[in-house]
Structure 1
Amino acid sequence: MHEDELLDLEEESPSASKIFRDWIFVIVIALGAAMLVRVFVLQQFYISGPSMETSLFQDDRVLVNKLSYRLHDINHGDVIVFDRVTTSGGVVEHDDLIKRVIAVGGDSIQIKKCEVWVNGVVVEEPYLGATVEGEDLNSRCRVVDMPSLTVPDDQLFVMGDNRAESFDSRSFGPIPKKLVIGRAFAVVWPLGSLRWL
């Protein structure tokens, strides 16, 4: 190798500061992309209560698709995360809740003898767990009958799968569709519980 060839190689090799700048640039771009995905596309949510058992359990983590309902309508049976806004003593509080959509705007919903009726038809609910043993039907399902209610347009009636332990539309009424964050579609933690919803 000639001396002038060695000089050319040295001139072409990047300096340590250039490599460092390139890595910083890549890291900033990756973090920016991750933040955009989290804000606009996917977000992980932590399950902190029993209201969705037997579908979701305490400490499960679910992925929520935030774009889903920009592309299509919310459907009966979808598991959604929504922002429940409450005001207490002039303080506005936000809680993210996860529930199943039972009825949409325009539907009539009624609960009688432990069965959910939407538009006059009993809803098949294979996702519900076994009922508690008891003398009569109402004590077995531990769900109070609810008179017929028509869900207002642009609102949803949501319930937890663990009906006896869920704080849902039976307590706070239908929720505005605009408060829906997205559709939960997969359990991603713990690893032994990976599954689609």
Structure 2
Amino acid sequence: MASSNSKKELLGWGKSLLIAAGIAVVLRTFLFSPYVVEGASMEPTLHNQEKIFVNKLYYSASFNRGDIVIIKGLTKNYVKRIIGMPGDKIEMSADQLLINGEPVKESYLSENRKAAEEMGSLLTGDFGPIFVPANHYFVMGDNRLKSMDSRNGLDFIKEADIVGKSEFVIFPFSNIRNVR
């Protein structure tokens, strides 16, 4: 009799573990996932080898200028900041971003802009005007001098190629912070 109860208990535990594993797979695949930042293109906002929490449950209407997103590439994923939305006219002149003719303040660039000025250069070279097509986004890294982005290799990003939005840094633990 004890043997029968042990088998039922083992089957119960096995079933519970399978359900928990299934839920974990669904959550990681469709809702949330960790992502490791590779490279310096988003410094000082995000640093090489930091782990970030990515929200995959998004709707295109919920993307905003300034969101940090993960982009599916051919051989690897990229982390970049959305600068231009579908239909926007983007241009850069004398280190000033203009969107639809209006200057945009990029306070997250202050540290990198200061470093570029000390080197005697601009942080972001002049370009544009560029028109962002429907269902596409224009992205750039915060470390503009060391970023492959929509200006120089990634082109416009298809909405379907955005994996999710970065929510916060989860590792190293001493650097846990929100990155919105």
- Same fold, judged at TM 0.5 (above): yes
Whether the 8 Å CA contact 1:102–1:157 is kept in 2: the answer is yes
Aligned residues: 174
- The answer for the alignment partner of 1:7 in structure 2 is none
- The answer for the alignment partner of 1:84 in structure 2 is 73
Whether the 8 Å CA contact 1:69–1:182 is kept in 2: the answer is no
1:69 Cα deviation (Å)?
2.0
Select which of 22, 43, 47 maps to 1:57.
47
- The answer for the alignment partner of 2:133 in structure 1 is 152
- The answer for the alignment partner of 1:34 in structure 2 is 24
Percent sequence identity is 32
Look up the equivalent residue of 2:54 and give its one-letter code. Answer: V
1:119 Cα deviation (Å)?
0.8
- The answer for the alignment partner of 1:191 in structure 2 is 173
Q: Distance in 2 between matches of 1:114 and 1:28?
A: 54
Whether the 8 Å CA contact 1:47–1:60 is kept in 2: the answer is yes
1:14 Cα deviation (Å)?
6.4
1:154 Cα deviation (Å)?
0.7
Whether the 8 Å CA contact 2:94–2:122 is kept in 1: the answer is no
- The answer for the alignment partner of 1:134 in structure 2 is 119
Measured against aligned partners, the alpha-carbon deviations of 1:46-92 in whole angstroms (never above 9, x if no partner) come to: 0110000011001111111111226x43110010001123xxxxxxx
Answer yes or no: is 1:74 the counterpart of 2:63. yes
- The answer for the alignment partner of 2:83 in structure 1 is 102
Q: Distance in 2 between matches of 1:37 and 1:107?
A: 34
Q: TM-score, normalised by structure 2?
A: 0.90
Whether the 8 Å CA contact 2:85–2:137 is kept in 1: the answer is yes
Secondary structure of the residue that 1:68 maps to in structure 2?
Answer: coil
Whether the 8 Å CA contact 1:80–1:99 is kept in 2: the answer is yes
1:118 Cα deviation (Å)?
0.7
Task: Calculate the aligned-residue CA RMSD, in Å.
Answer: 1.7
Select which of 159, 171, 177 maps to 2:152.
171
Look up the equivalent residue of 2:133 and give its one-letter code. Answer: P
Regions of 4+ moved over 4 Å:
none
1:134 Cα deviation (Å)?
3.2
Q: TM-score, normalised by structure 1?
A: 0.83
Look up the equivalent residue of 1:111 and give its one-letter code. Answer: M
Look up the equivalent residue of 1:187 and give its one-letter code. Answer: V
Measured against aligned partners, the alpha-carbon deviations of 1:20-55 in whole angstroms (never above 9, x if no partner) come to: 211111111111000000111001100110000011
Between Structure 1 and Structure 2, whose CA radius of gyration is higher? 1
